[in-house]
Amino acid sequence: MTRLRTATAAAAGLLVATAIPLMATPHRAAASDNGRAVRPAMGWSSWSYVRRQPTEAAIEAQADALVSSGLARHGFVQVNLDDFWQKCDANGFQVDGYGRWSPDPAKFPDGIKSLADHVHAKGLKFGFYVTPGIARNAVLKNTPVEGTTYHAKDIADTSKTEKNYNCKNMYALDYARPGAQEFVDSWARQFASWGVDYLKIDGVGGQDIPDVQAWDKALRATGRPITFALSNNLPIDQATTWRTLANSWRTQGDVECYCGPGPSGSGYPLTDWAHVARRFDSAAAWQPYAGPGGWNDLDSLEIGNGDRAGLDADQRRSQFTLWSMAAAPLLLGTDLTRLDPVDRAMLTNDRLIGVDQDGIAAQRVVNSGAGQVWSKRESNGDRVVALFNTGTSGSATVTVDWSRIGLTGSGDVTDLWSGAHKGTVAGSYSAALRPGETRLIRVRPVDSRGTAVDR
């Protein structure tokens, strides 16, 4: 039986007991065979902090900071330009001569390729953003589909609109019509020519499987290795489909709280604990679908700017711990040009990064009120175990019996946040945790002679 003693229960002399059987991992669906995302992506994304005002200078500054801060040396190499890079008018997105979105020249005077070149010159990778469909302006102008005899009106289904968070005015593509796949192909070729290494397609739902299939096919046809990410709040009912077609998929809505003082809730704070804590349940539900080639994306990691991002230090460590236990992409959402030294130490902890990059999504083995325990078994037999107090008030002692994580006898314990070796612990492990605090340990099985073994 797994035990959790909260501060309140302890005062009353009560013991809350919850036993959760160890789950057998279901047969995992085949991952995308595009050769990308053998490990979860690591880097930075513009949405949380830069939000609706991305500029060439702002993105280049973040790329420069990834390198100068040392984060790139620890694996944070992705620089992702999210939404609002486009130019809009009263009818939606302005388009080029082939019906594809036009970059805003005021924000990107040297063009997207120049920005990608800057990122690549730093030894980093460049990510970009799109949503399904075809712009209304393309249909109004009946632009040709590059390299074909078809036009926008031949391929657009104007009875249906696609979700878009910026200029709106996106019609659906009818893939039963010749020219629709070729339109997506032309867009993918353009992105490849600009130097895109990672493409996020946003606003995707179950109805958009044909679009995801079309983009998967188009990206492969470019001949450029491009990681393919889906967003957001993907339905779990189609999890095996997302895994087959893409390299990551957002399991929930945005982690941002939109509670800042700026337009549309921009500015600090970027998030709050409630938005982070909601990821515990979704990470548990989606766990069977993560693995090399395809990852459960829990959204941006809001570490880098100290408490002002909306989480205290304990909560930031807990966010990093959950993301790492879930083997989720580690895409920072903060301002890296103003990196907090406490947060820099968190982000350059290679023991934590290694937990994420082992490519194993942990199972939740204890779920009792605010107390949770997650565990994964690594290839050498070590168990990595995270104990959480997800509450916002009241300390808690969280205990895990070794039997819950498939061990008998004793384990040799190392604290992964501090690096401290805790020695041999028999039977179970307990941690007294503040609200929002976590303890992350590596447990190596110990034989009857007290010798650590691979098991």
Question: What is the pLDDT, as a whole number, of residue 326?
Answer: 98
363 within 8 A of 290, measured Cβ to Cβ: no
161 within 8 A of 189, measured Cβ to Cβ: no
Alpha-carbon distance 407 to 410, whole Å? 8
Alpha-carbon distance 454 to 234, whole Å? 38
Strand partners, 237: none
Question: Could you give the C-alpha distances from 410 to 414, 420, 425, in angstroms and in order?
Answer: 13, 18, 5
> If we measure between CA atoms, which residue out of 253, 259, 122 comes closest to residue 197?
122
Question: What is the pLDDT, as a whole number, of residue 105?
Answer: 98
Question: What domains can you pick out in the chain, each with its CATH number?
Answer: 2-25+364-446 (2.60.40.1180), 42-361 (3.20.20.70)
Question: What is the pLDDT, as a whole number, of residue 447?
Answer: 76
Instruction: List per-residue pLDDT tens for the chain, 455 residues long.
Output: 333 333 333 332 222 333 334 444 445 678 999 999 999 999 999 999 999 999 999 999 999 999 999 999 999 999 999 999 999 999 999 999 999 999 999 999 999 999 999 999 999 999 999 999 999 999 999 999 999 999 999 999 999 999 999 999 999 999 999 999 999 999 999 999 999 999 999 999 999 999 999 999 999 999 999 999 999 999 999 999 999 999 999 999 999 999 999 999 999 999 999 999 999 999 999 999 999 999 999 999 999 999 999 999 999 999 999 999 999 999 999 999 999 999 999 999 999 999 999 999 999 999 998 999 999 999 999 999 999 999 999 999 999 999 999 999 999 999 999 999 999 999 999 999 999 999 999 999 997 555 566 65
Among all chains, which residue has been given the structure tokens 């130019």? 87
Question: What is the pLDDT, as a whole number, of residue 369?
Answer: 87
Convert the chain into a string of H (helix), E (strand) and C (coil): CEEEEEHHHHHCCCCEEECCCCCCCCCCCCCCCCCCCCCCCEEEECCCCCCCCCCHHHHHHHHHHHHHCCHHHHCCCEEECCCCCECEECCEECECCCCCECECCCCCCCCHHHHHHHHHHCCCEEEEEECCCEEHHHHHHCCECCCCCCEHHHHEEEEEECCCCCCCCEEEECCCCCCHHHHHHHHHHHHHHHCCCEEEECCCCHHHHHHHHHHHHHHHHCCCCCEEEECCCCCHHHHHHHHHHCCEEECCCCCCCCCCCCHHHCCCCCCCHHHHHCHHHHHHHHHHHCECCEEEECCCECCCCHHHHCCCHHHHHHHHHHHHHCCCCEEECCCHHHCCHHHHHHHCCHHHHHHHHCCCCCEEEEEECCEEEEEEECCCCCEEEEEEECCCCCCEEEEEEHHHHCCCCEEEEEECCCCCEEEEEECEEEEEECCCCEEEEEEEEECCCCCECCC
Evaluate the omega torsion of the peptide bond into residue 232 and state whether it is cis, within 30 degrees of 0. Answer: yes
**Helices 313-325 and 350-357: angle between axes, nearest 10 degrees:** 30
Question: What is the pLDDT, as a whole number, of residue 433?
Answer: 98
Instruction: State how beta strands 438-446 and 383-389 pair.
Output: antiparallel
Question: Could you give the C-alpha distances from 49 to 61, 177, 249, 277, 311, in angstroms and in order?
Answer: 13, 40, 21, 20, 15
Catalytic residues: 202, 254
> If we measure between CA atoms, which residue out of 61, 48, 147, 50 comes closest to residue 97?
147
Alpha-carbon distance 190 to 102, whole Å? 11
pTM for the full predicted model: 0.93
Alpha-carbon distance 287 to 389, whole Å? 20
